[in-house]
Every structure is written in structure tokens, then in C-alpha cells.
Structure 1
């Protein structure tokens, strides 16, 4: 769709002496349409050969109407002065208009001849088409005139573009929106597999089908307002097909709301279909149909709003905004405004002060800045996409894209700096000074300004502190009375041990005590005081030993030291196993003392230590949109390979890499250890948060730090990118 243009009354034009006897003749196939634009009367010129449209004012129209091949330019100027008075064009403006007419092949001289002129126009148009076809990055292919098909479809779908159709559209959108809100969690959950690589083919086919509907809707809407559609084709960007129809005839529609309607028609159709898909998916039980509907919702809803409705790209949203603001060639005018600003600041070039209002100037500056940033992002994204095509074979394509979109504009800028142009002489000294200033600021800023980053630390909810239950006496496990996760009270039996040696020692001591008591009684009867006193000491020693052995016997029944929850990996395998004195059996955790344990790698421990006592953000797995705050209370001073909680290990679905260790190593908890020593920290959370989370629940702790300068960060990113490329090649 070609944009409407208008002659710019700049100093560039044909010399006045060359105009005096020139007899220009407008092409007889041009069509002029009266139109109201920005509160002023104007005319739209339609060029059917190029499918181009131009907007001119009443003064320009009066002058053009006199270019019949008989009047000279000077005669036309004189007649305009008589008819328009002070509103007539000046000689300089006439010179610019004549230059514009000849540059765009809208007028010529009778000597050139209509036949030769049309032949030249067609040759140039054909050369332009071949130039586009030879560009491997972006090219267009015309597939013919779709008017016949569109006229056949009008009786079926033309009503959609009338007021009743708008009412139906709004109703369906509301219906689909309500169903989307109701099924929001399900939609978010199911969206992940829908965009998986194995579904890209189906997603692409759905996208292509919706784009065909999109373009057909543009054509039908244009016909409904009295326009016409001459061309249907496919634009290809990085081998991505994008259908298009030429609805540029909408520029001659008298109302800007009609033109905006034509521009919005494609989005109108896609949103309509996406809303229907949301409604169908909500009531369907067929997985294939639900997936198809979700793909339609993503491509026809999300992608359409992000790209087609984006006014920074030259898609539907741009044309809607340009007509709404009534600024023809919005992108071109904003870009020209930005270029003039840059030339004025960087090169000291002076321009004639614009008569635009402050609102219009601010609007153009804002749009131009945002569009430039967006264009830079899109260019970089397309270059990286080209580089990744065909598993790295797209590198030559990426180099070509970088040359066309980056290198050539830089060379043009360098040429302007060195040579300038006919009307502008840039100050090279001013540019050198500003460039040196920017380089200096960038250098010192990059070396001194810290780059903010967010560390994401693996974490788990655990009982901190948890009381460890250990064996106070050795023995074989006879019975296990509890299971992991069970709530116990203080004194409840956890397990019982069996130790025949303790029982034997108790029985032996009881016999020895009985004999000692008999001997003591004998010495007491015979009056042997010294022997009785010796026997008293022996008896007391044996009674002390018996008391110790009886306590050991009682300790064979292991009880909970406090109320809480039993924490252990597996207790069902303990019966029959021998436990030594001091061996850990389980942990008892208090539900009111749950906190978050974090695992900090050695490279991240320094910035984390600086955040002790500060607030951190905790996000639990499965609830990324919900977060709580916690305070980092401590970080253990020594790194360890011990797994702070089994749920963190990769073998249990956690984020930490582990390796197997020898089962006989009693210093390790379980049969796995971390591959790299790490530090353990404790993040204290509120009582309300403790009640919402469960022990063993995985989480991530987010910490904002600044440990590298901007320059270091850039170097690290470049090294990482080069390293990834080398790995992919290997």
C-alpha cells in the first residue's frame, strides 16, 4: 500500500529560467478527488500506473489544472495569481512543484510524447520490480488481481463492515473475552506445549491462513467503501511469507474514519476469529481442537495486537495512527524531523524554522525516537535470525543484511560528513568535538558505572532450625513407629532398638549386686568393719553401673525430643539395620520455624554477603506471578558439597547438579553430593508466609546486585557469545 505524498516546498527545484517557456502536460490518466484533511480542503491524485496517491492543496491543484500543454509555466503562474491572489504559489514553490511532478512522472512535455512517456514509466516500474526480486532478504511477488474473488465474497461477508456487523463483532469479542478470563489459568498452562518446536509447522499454517483472511478483510472493507483492489501478492521477509493486497485506493476516500476502517479491517477479522476460537475452546473436549483454537488465539490475538497494531512498524496500526492524527507520511515526516535535529546538533546545519505547533513538534519527536529504537531492534533481530537460519548456514545472509541495513547507511552518513550536499554544509570540526566527547563519556562511564543485574538463587522451604534426633546407644532397629511428614508430640516413640549385650550386662550386674549385698551382710554380722566398708564401695560402684545400663536400655526406645514434624528421606528401610551411637535418625521440625534456605555458588557469595540483613524477593515454583519478601539472616561461613535438602537435587527434579558418593561416607546426607561446593544461607519469612508454604517446596530468591562495570559486562557478553558459537561449531 503506497502512502500518500505531497510536494515539499524546499529550496530544491528547477531553475526559474528553465521554466519560462516550458509547457508541461499532466498525464491524462490521473484522477483527482476532493477531500477534507486536517480541517482543510485538499485534493488526492491517483496514479494508476504506480498505484500511488498524492495529496496536494488547493493552490497546487489550481496550478496543476492549468498544465494542459498549451500554457507555459509563466502563463500558469500569472493565471493562478489572478485567480488566487495572495494565496497563489510563489515562483520558488512553482519550481519545487514542477520538479516534484517530473520526478514522479506525473507530468511531461508534449515533445516527449505520451507513448514514449508511458513506455519509460513502465520500464522504470519493471526495473524497480526486478530490483526487489533480486533482494534475497525482502522481496514481493504479485499474484494477480483479486477483484473478481472479492466481489463474489461481498454478498457473504460485506455485512460485517456495516454497523450491524460492528455490533456482532463487539458481542463476539465480549463473549470470547469473558471465556478467556474464566479459562485464563488453563490457557496459560496449555500455551507452553502449543509453541513447542514440534508444533511450529501447525502454528505456521494457522498463521498463514489467518493472514490470508486478514488481507481479504482489507479488500472487502475497501470495496464496501467504494474503493478498489488491483493487486494481491506475497511479501517475503527472511523467507517468511506475508500476504498483502493493494488497498491504496482508500486514500481517496473522503472521510478519515473510512480510511481508518480499511486499515483496521485485517485486525478486525483476526480478532473476530480469535474470539470465536476462545469460545469454542472453552466448551470443547477434543484435545486437537483445543490446541488448534489456542493457536488461533495466539496468532490472531496476541501476535496481531503486538505487530499489526504496533504503530512503530509500517503495518495497520501505523496507517490508523497517521490518519487519526491527520499527518500524511507520518514516518517520513518524523524521520525527517529527527534527521534535521541530529544534523543541527551534530553538524551545526541550520534549517528554516518550522511553523508546526509545539504539540505537533513534540509528537513527531516522540514518534521518531520510538520508531528509530524499534527499527534498530527489528534490524538486529532479523540479522540474528538470518545468522541462525539452516543451522548456521545463514551467516552469509546475515552479513548481507548487515551490509544493506547498517554498513550502507553508515557509508552514506560518512559521505554526507565529508562532502555534504548542494544545500547543506556540515561542520566537521563540530562533529569531531562531539564525537570525542561521546567517546570519552562512554569510555569513563563504561569503566566506572556498575551494571545492575539480578541474581536468581535456588532455594527450598525448610525447618530452620530443625532438631536432629540421634541414637544415644548402639543397636539394631527393631520397629519404626513413625513415617516422614508425620506430626508427633514430645515423648512419642519414633523407633525401638534391640541390643542383647545391654540386656546381658544388666542381668550380670544384678547378680553381682545381689552377691555383694550378701557379702556385706556377712561382714556386718561378723563385725568385720573394714571388709564391710570395702564391700560398700564395691556395691555402690556396681549400682551406678546398673543405673547407667538401665538408662541405656530405656534409650533403646527413641522418643521425640519436642513436638513437630518428622523429616527424613526414608525410614521404612531401617528395620534390621545397625545404628551406632551418635548416628542421625531424623529431624524434628517446628511448623512455626519454617524459613527459606538458599544455595549460593562461590562466585556469587561476595555480593550476597553484602546483603545480609536486607530484604529479598522469594518466588515459589509453580507460582511465578506470586512473590513474598524475606530477610537474609545469615550465610554459613564454609562452603560444602552437602545437599541442604533432597528436593534441590537434580535427581529429585531440583535445579542443582549432583553426583553419586560412596554409601559408606557417613559425613554426607544421602548418596549424592553437589558437584561444586556452595554456601548455605537462611532467608527469614513472615508467619503468614510460613503458613502458605510447605517444607520441601522449591523456590527462587531474587537479589539485585551491581558487581561488574558496564564495560566488563559487555566484554563478558561478547566472550559468552563467541564461546557459544565455537561450541555449536564443534
Structure 2
């Protein structure tokens, strides 16, 4: 470029920035209209410093003469393109003005487009706190002292030690508080923690002379959260100061969690201790699960960007990963984006890939949240829109680039991907998938819970675990029943003597029927009490083995009514009850082979055969060990008194084991059943279609 070049906008400011990682100086261009910063290097700075000479040849000569740099016209052209892209040049002619106007028109969105992109996240500025922050900072400056830091570290160790001694109580309190009644308490704790979080950002920015433009409320997925605008922290040339501002919120919440945890350990039960529990748990969860994550633009991201001294980390790593994908998959030799250290390239690529995976699941969660939050018609529409906007559109844009540049792909890459595509197509379309995996409950084919039908005192316990049919297992006595029987027999004897005394009495024959009826009633009561006592003699209904005997049982111990004492199992025949989803139950037939992996200390396999298949879904779980609330594998919901209904539609399949397990006890197992072969893709498409049909009803 031998002629003149466009002038810079007059309101732009050039500010010093922290040096690049290679030691070269850097600066920031501040656009005060939109409050945005652009990082430039030494070469660009020297060019902008002499931009007023107005002629490219004079500018080049001055830079090459006065510095050790060697620049040419391509450097000026690149800088002009950069300035134009970010609207940093004056519109000195009609063409430039028209270009700016056209760009503004393209960026305009109608009301629907604005709502579509901003209803999940938008900010509402409420206050401009700069003067208040400056006036109040002296009162809280002591929080930034080393004494405060050492105090928090001491409290953290002390609280950790104390809570380790009350860990069972703490976890039990946490489980008890996970309910609808505790939502209000956690909400108040969340407000307090977030307010402290944002104030920490604001005061730390004020400490380093950064203006806090405003504070307000941000609506994040329809949930209000406080926010602080500290975007001007990029004015700081010291990256450690920028990192201090970014990490202030996390440190404040950790400090709150440390103090609240210690207070909970030291306080007695009451409202204040419960409040400390809410503050402690809320602060720990927010800090560890949300704020620390670098994959979304929360505090963890800005901290990592400051550690690496790399603004726009997400955008730069994403650009690096796209180039890597094009090169690795198709041999498209795009230039690598400029980075200060080429050794960072693999790490930036990995970071971008992890970010994409993390965001994929986050966006799926957001789409599901939107679907359940709105009424069904709007929920379905917004669910589809969210998946397209956040996932579909970026993927489609990159696929479009691949298609447009297909001619740049090497022939070898094309052949390789054609083979991969055909292999994947065959893999998902050919019916080869025969095995069906499920969870199972192993138990004896015949088993009986031994319990006392009445309350009583133990007089005899089984001497061995192996029993035969009819063997006496437990003998209990009930002094109350024995007393009632003895009383009834005594009354019967007394009545019988009265009957014998009627001989010779004038009206004796008239009294005889009443006394005889009373005598028979007493005899019947005595027999009934005797039969009730005989029920306390517990016998084996079949031959088998006793296990799960209550370890607290002993002679003389009192037992409650219907208290389980032991389990009698027929150890000659064992079955597994497997629970299959409705999509797979049609693939299983009676007589199909099965393989069961028993979850013992040393897992092992046993073969089995399908005996029966239920035609109706499982109404409730047959054993508590299957319930997820008790650590089992099946998620349930409450259904009636003491019954838990599976959330998923499951069918029971009864499988007979071909050999007995090593240990005679009930337990969980991993079951693999051989079923009808099905192709993976049509099967999944049928499942998706079933969900769409189910959810389409209004």
C-alpha cells in the first residue's frame, strides 16, 4: 500500500497490558463506546503510534528505521483488516459509511430473534455502586490482610477436624434437608452467598482501581442471579491483579463456607445452626461445581485465562480445535491460529474438545429444563429450538465448511472416510445386537421368611443351619397366653364342680344348660390359647438352609410380633429375577440362554435359562435392595404405604440357574440374556418415535 489509509476513531484509547508469555510487550485498544478491549502486540503498537503520518511508505520507513522490527505492506494490510473488522476506523467516505450501515443492518434482530437468543440469559443493571464502593472500602480493607488469610486457613483445618468427628450427623442432616420444605432455606443461603460473591468481585476491583460500571441481576435459564460488571479489569497490566478480581468471588464463598461449617460444628441444635448448615452446603456446592468450571464463562474460566494470560480463551481454543479437526480428518491444510507458544497448541485443542463435550451435556440439560418449565406445546418448540441454536447450528456451520471445501480433501482421506462411513452404516443397520443387559435379583426358588406370629420369649434356637422339612427351628413362649390358658382351664374345672353339685337340688336341671354352655366356652378358650402357643413353635415347611439369622437372638430374648428371625432357602434350586425395559422384553423368549455375573467379593459367572416372562409391568419392587434410595440400581417413586414403584416401565423375567451359587444368600447380579437380533439404529429410532408419540398428546 503506497497511498494513504483510513484514520482511526478519535475516541479510542491505547492502554499498556501485561507482556506476552514470550516477553514481548503488549497493549490494549479500548473502544469506550461499547466498552470492549482488543489486545495487540509490539508491531501493531509501533504502527498505530505513527498512524498519523498518513502515508504507508513513510510509516514503514519510520518503523524500520527507529525500531528493530522489520515491517512491510502486508503487516499494514493485516492491521487495517483487523481495525475494519472491529469498527475501529473512521467512516471518511460514502463507501465506508455504507459498509458500516450495512453491517449494522445485518446485526439488527427483530423482537422474536432477540427473545430467542436472550430469554435464557439477559442482564438487568440496577445500580452504579462506584462511589459507595470507594467510601466503604476502608472499612473492609482488613479482609485482604495476611492475618485474615491465616485465620481462614486455621478455621478450615479446625472445621475439617471437627466435622470429621460428626460426619454421620452432617450427612444425615444433608439427606434430611433434601426436600421441598428446605427449598426456602437453601434459597436464602444462595442469595446471601451470591451477594457476598459479587461484593468480593466489586471490592477487589475497587482495591486495584478498576471502575465497577454497574451491578444488577442476570436471568440465567430463568433463574435470577446477581452479577457485577468488572469488564474494565483488562485495563490492568498485571495479570495477577486481574486473577485476584476473577477469583475473589470463589475465595469469598470458600471463606463463608469455612466459617459456616465451623459454626455448625460448635453450635447446639436450633435455627441458627440450621442456617449455618444451609450457608455451608450452598457455598461449597456453588464453589466446587459451578464457579470453578472453566468450560463456561464463570469465574473459573476467567481465572484460567488470567493464569495463561490469554484473553478470549474459548474462542481461540475453539479456532485451534477446528483447524486440527480439518487437518486430522480431511487433510485440509489450514493455517494454525497465532499463539504465543506453539507448545500450547495440543493443550488448547484438548481444552476446546472438553469444552464442547461439557457444553453439549449442559445444553441438553437446559433444553430439558425449558421443556419441563413451559406448558407442553411451548416446551416442545423451545426444546427443539434450543437444541438447534446451541448444538445443531454450530455443528451444521462446520459441516457446511467441510462440504464447501471437499475439493481440498486428499483422495486418501476421502477413501478412508468412505470406508469408515460404510462400516458404521453396516454396524448400525445390520441386526447383530442380540444380548440384552439388565440387573437381577438372585434368590432361592423357594424361600421363606421365618418370623414370630405373636410376641414371645425365645426358648430354643436352631442348632444347625441345614434343616429338613418339619424340623423345629425356633420355640417361643408367651406367659400371657399360658396364664390365659390356665385361667380358662381353672374356670372350666370350677364350672364342672358346679355341675356336679346340681345333683339333688330342686331347680338343678334348670341351671344345668347354662353351666354346661359356660363350661364348654371355657374349654374352647383354653384350647384356643393352647393352639396359639403351638403357633410359637416355628418349623421348617421344606428342607433347606437357614441364613440371615438375626445376630441379636438368644435364649430369653423377647421377640416382637412379625419380627423377622431368619430366612429359610431351598438351596437345591436358585433363580434370578431380571428386570428388562419394555423396548427389550419382546426380544426375549422362554428357554433363552442367560449369563449371570454374581456381585460377590470375587465376582463369577453362572449360566441360566429363561423360565417365565411377565406379561404385565412390575408394579412395585419385590425387595428393598433393588431400590435406589437404599443404594440399589432401580430409581423409584413412592406408591402407597411402604411400596416403591419403578420410574421406568420394567418387566420381570424369571431365570433358572443351572448351578447353585457358591454362597447361599440373596444378592444383586448383572444379567445378560440372549434375545432376538436387532439393528441398533432402527431400534433407537423406534424408541425416539415412541417418546415423540407419547409426548405429542396435549
Correspondent of 1:600 among 564, 577, 592 = 577
Give the conservation status (yes or no) of the 8 Å contact 2:212–2:229.
yes
Correspondent of 2:252 among 269, 294, 311 = 269
> 1:258 offset after TM fit, Å?
1.8
| 2:426 is aligned with 1:444 | yes
Structure 2 residue aligned with 1:377? 361
Any idea what the Cα deviations from partners look like across 1:543-601, whole Å, max 9, x if unmatched? xxxxxxxxxxxxxxxxxxxxxxxxxxxx998447799xx98399872679999987413
In structure 2, distance between residues paired with 1:125 and 1:230? 29
Give the number of the structure whose alpha-carbon radius of gyration is greater: 1
Superposition map of 1:617-628 within 5 A: 617=599, 628=601
Give the conservation status (yes or no) of the 8 Å contact 1:222–1:262.
yes
| 2:156 is aligned with 1:173 | yes
In structure 1, distance between residues paired with 2:203 and 2:434? 52
| 2:285 is aligned with 1:302 | yes
| 2:368 is aligned with 1:367 | no
Secondary structure, counterpart of 1:24 in structure 2: coil
Correspondent of 1:678 among 646, 651, 654 = 654
Give the conservation status (yes or no) of the 8 Å contact 1:27–1:106.
no
Correspondent of 1:83 among 66, 69, 72 = 66
Summarize the Cα distance change of 1:714–1:126 in structure 2 as closer, same or farther, 3 Å threshold: closer
> 1:264 offset after TM fit, Å?
0.8
Correspondent of 1:249 among 232, 235, 238 = 232
> 1:463 offset after TM fit, Å?
13
Superposition map of 1:518-597 within 5 A: 574-575=532-533, 584=541, 589=546
> 1:306 offset after TM fit, Å?
1.7
Secondary structure, counterpart of 1:234 in structure 2: strand
Give the conservation status (yes or no) of the 8 Å contact 2:592–2:673.
no
Structure 2 residue aligned with 1:226? 209
Give the conservation status (yes or no) of the 8 Å contact 2:189–2:279.
yes
Superposition map of 1:76-155 within 5 A: 76-85=59-68, 87-108=69-90, 135=117, 136-155=119-138
Any idea what the Cα deviations from partners look like across 1:58-115, whole Å, max 9, x if unmatched? 22112111223x5334332221121124x14331121111222233233426779xxx
Correspondent of 1:41 among 13, 25, 41 = 25
Any idea what the Cα deviations from partners look like across 1:333-365, whole Å, max 9, x if unmatched? 211111112223445432346786563122112
Secondary structure, counterpart of 1:36 in structure 2: coil
Structure 2 residue aligned with 1:703? 670
In structure 1, distance between residues paired with 2:345 and 2:166? 45
* CA root-mean-square deviation: 5.2
| 2:382 is aligned with 1:397 | yes
Of 229-238 and 699-708, deviating more is: 699-708
In structure 2, distance between residues paired with 1:709 and 1:373? 34
> 1:216 offset after TM fit, Å?
1.6
Give the conservation status (yes or no) of the 8 Å contact 1:463–1:589.
no
In structure 1, distance between residues paired with 2:626 and 2:579? 23
Give the conservation status (yes or no) of the 8 Å contact 2:11–2:32.
no
In structure 2, distance between residues paired with 1:280 and 1:636? 59
Secondary structure, counterpart of 1:54 in structure 2: strand
In structure 1, distance between residues paired with 2:268 and 2:681? 50
Give the conservation status (yes or no) of the 8 Å contact 1:25–1:107.
yes
Give the conservation status (yes or no) of the 8 Å contact 2:592–2:610.
no
> 1:247 offset after TM fit, Å?
1.4
Correspondent of 2:319 among 336, 352, 362 = 336
> 1:227 offset after TM fit, Å?
1.8
> 1:493 offset after TM fit, Å?
8.4
> 1:174 offset after TM fit, Å?
2.7
Any idea what the Cα deviations from partners look like across 1:607-660, whole Å, max 9, x if unmatched? 996546x6x325xxxxxxxxx44556686986699xxxxx95589999999x9x
Secondary structure, counterpart of 2:8 in structure 1: strand
Any idea what the Cα deviations from partners look like across 1:451-489, whole Å, max 9, x if unmatched? 9986433357x99999999xxxxxxx9x99975994557
Aligned residues: 579
Summarize the Cα distance change of 1:715–1:425 in structure 2 as closer, same or farther, 3 Å threshold: closer
Any idea what the Cα deviations from partners look like across 1:372-414, whole Å, max 9, x if unmatched? 2112222222122212213534222222212322343344335
In structure 2, distance between residues paired with 1:123 and 1:161? 45
Of 675-684 and 368-377, deviating more is: 675-684
Any idea what the Cα deviations from partners look like across 1:138-187, whole Å, max 9, x if unmatched? 32333342213322442233332343332233233333333443333333
Unaligned 5+ residue runs, structure 2?
465-470, 478-528, 550-565, 615-620, 640-649
> 1:29 offset after TM fit, Å?
4.7
Give the conservation status (yes or no) of the 8 Å contact 2:257–2:279.
yes
Secondary structure, counterpart of 2:134 in structure 1: helix
In structure 2, distance between residues paired with 1:337 and 1:30? 30
Summarize the Cα distance change of 1:46–1:82 in structure 2 as closer, same or farther, 3 Å threshold: same
TM-score under structure 2 length normalisation: 0.68
In structure 1, distance between residues paired with 2:434 and 2:261? 43
Summarize the Cα distance change of 1:158–1:607 in structure 2 as closer, same or farther, 3 Å threshold: farther
> 1:54 offset after TM fit, Å?
2.3
Correspondent of 1:64 among 37, 40, 48 = 48
Summarize the Cα distance change of 1:168–1:252 in structure 2 as closer, same or farther, 3 Å threshold: farther
Correspondent of 2:393 among 408, 414, 434 = 408
Unaligned 5+ residue runs, structure 1?
1-15, 470-476, 497-570, 619-627, 642-646, 660-673
Summarize the Cα distance change of 1:57–1:312 in structure 2 as closer, same or farther, 3 Å threshold: same
In structure 1, distance between residues paired with 2:266 and 2:662? 42
| 2:333 is aligned with 1:350 | yes
> 1:301 offset after TM fit, Å?
0.9
Of 383-392 and 439-448, deviating more is: 439-448
Of 142-151 and 704-713, deviating more is: 704-713
Secondary structure, counterpart of 1:40 in structure 2: coil
Summarize the Cα distance change of 1:723–1:360 in structure 2 as closer, same or farther, 3 Å threshold: same
Superposition map of 1:625-644 within 5 A: 628-629=601-602, 631=604
Give the conservation status (yes or no) of the 8 Å contact 2:459–2:476.
no
> 1:434 offset after TM fit, Å?
5.9
Summarize the Cα distance change of 1:629–1:96 in structure 2 as closer, same or farther, 3 Å threshold: same
> 1:33 offset after TM fit, Å?
1.9
